[in-house]
């Protein structure tokens, strides 16, 4: 047998021996697995605390960033701002190792907080949003310092008393928070700049200054069943003259005045009489005024002369006063016609047009 043949046989024997050794040696297997976790956004976490059940003595930890994975210590805190991935690489025994990937979903379950006064004193006819300081703050990095859009606030009352108003707010994750504000509605004294307006808004919650006296003129004594002299502002007197003339022209009926201007001290039933723009009317019969032809005519024609029925039936919760078919208020023809056409009370009109 030549040398080449012997060499080939020797190499073959070595190859067989190596193959048999390979078969006899245990293989090292790498096992891949993934775990899904949900953790609160904007918190700091220590990996060892949240992965404790998965960690072995020789485990290595990696955290994903924009460049791939970066090795970090098991006790190195990390901030969870967005979804992120952690990976543990470790040997489980001599021939087996594993890599566990942790897909962490950053969730936000903590509602924001509403910072405001718990209770307020609110003047009648003033919108709560004009006096209440409100701030909505969201949770971020352990502090409420991420400002959100402030909630919409819209509360106005012309009814005196105590009320509750609930503020609602929702953060970017859909968490909802509510806060109840205690409100005490008290009389608001109308400012000087409004006192000369024909459409001045007066009610139990919006009162005229005690010393306010408008420019007044005397009504003809024939308007009184008892020949009293009543006072009103001049535009009201002129408009009332035209109104009574039109009433007589249509129905040949008279209309008389029972109340007109009253001083602050005397206007106990309604502060509006102090304006010189309101009056109570009556006919010369004993019949309830609401059942008279004069009343029916006023319902249809008062607005043509700038007057409204101040306290209509069914609107007591809006006006704050009982139904009174006898009280007229002069607001000018334009406003009166608008209220008539839209079936609004004067208070509803003013509330709609608050700035």
User: Could you list the mean pLDDT of each consecutive 10-residue stretch along the chain, which spans 355 residues?
Assistant: 62 59 47 88 92 91 89 93 92 79 94 93 96 87 72 93 95 90 97 95 95 96 92 98 98 96 83 96 90 97 98 94 96 98 97 86
**What is the dihedral angle through the alpha carbons of 120, 121, 126, 132, rounded to the nearest 10 degrees?**
-20
CB contact set of 205 (below 8 Å; sequence gap of 6+): 123, 124, 125, 157, 158, 159, 160, 185, 186, 187, 188, 320
Query: In residues, how long is the chain?
Result: 355
Q: What is the pLDDT of residues 278-308, one digit of tens each?
A: 999 999 887 899 999 999 999 999 999 999 9
pTM comes to 0.77
Chain segment 118-135, per-residue pLDDT in tens: 999 999 999 999 999 998
Question: What's the pLDDT score for residue 338?
Answer: 98
Give the β-pairing of 78-80 and 43-45.
Answer: antiparallel
Q: Are strands 188-189 and 206-207 parallel, antiparallel or unpaired?
A: parallel
Nearest Cα to Cα of residue 54 among 16, 86, 94: 86
């Amino acid at each position: 047998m030549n040398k080449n043949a012997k060499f080939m046989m020797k190499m073959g024997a070595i190859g067989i021996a190596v193959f048999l050794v390979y078969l006899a040696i245990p293989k090292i297997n790498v096992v891949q697995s993934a775990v899904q976790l949900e953790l609160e956004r904007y918190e700091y976490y220590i990996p060892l605390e949240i992965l404790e059940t998965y960690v072995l003595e020789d485990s290595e930890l990696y955290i994903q960033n924009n460049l791939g994975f970066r090795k970090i210590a098991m006790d190195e805190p990390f901030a969870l701002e967005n979804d992120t991935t952690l990976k543990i690489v470790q040997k489980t025994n001599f021939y087996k190792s594993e890599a566990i990937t942790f897909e962490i979903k950053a969730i936000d379950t903590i509602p924001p907080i509403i910072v405001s006064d718990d209770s307020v004193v609110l003047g009648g006819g003033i919108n709560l949003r004009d006096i209440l300081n409100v701030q909505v703050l969201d949770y971020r990095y352990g502090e409420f310092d991420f400002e959100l859009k402030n909630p919409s606030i819209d509360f106005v009352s012309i009814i005196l008393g105590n009320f509750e108003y609930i503020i609602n707010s929702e953060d970017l994750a859909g968490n909802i928070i509510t806060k109840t504000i205690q409100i005490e509605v008290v009389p608001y004294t109308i400012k000087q700049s409004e006192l000369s307006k024909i459409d001045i808004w007066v009610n139990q919650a919006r009162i005229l200054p005690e010393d306010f006296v408008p420019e007044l003129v005397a009504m003809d004594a024939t308007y009184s069943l008892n020949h009293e002299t009543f006072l009103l502002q001049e535009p009201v007197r002129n408009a009332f003259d035209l109104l009574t003339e039109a009433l007589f022209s249509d129905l040949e009926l008279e209309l008389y005045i029972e109340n007109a201007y009253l001083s602050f001290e005397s206007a106990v039933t309604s502060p509006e009489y102090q304006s010189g723009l309101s009056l109570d009317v009556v006919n010369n019969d004993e019949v309830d005024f609401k059942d008279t032809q004069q009343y029916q005519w006023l319902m249809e024609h008062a607005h043509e002369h700038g007057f409204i029925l101040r306290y209509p039936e069914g609107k007591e919760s809006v006006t704050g006063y009982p139904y009174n078919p006898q009280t007229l208020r002069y607001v000018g023809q334009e406003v009166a016609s608008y209220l008539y056409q839209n079936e609004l009370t004067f208070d509803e009109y003013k509330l709609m047009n608050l700035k």
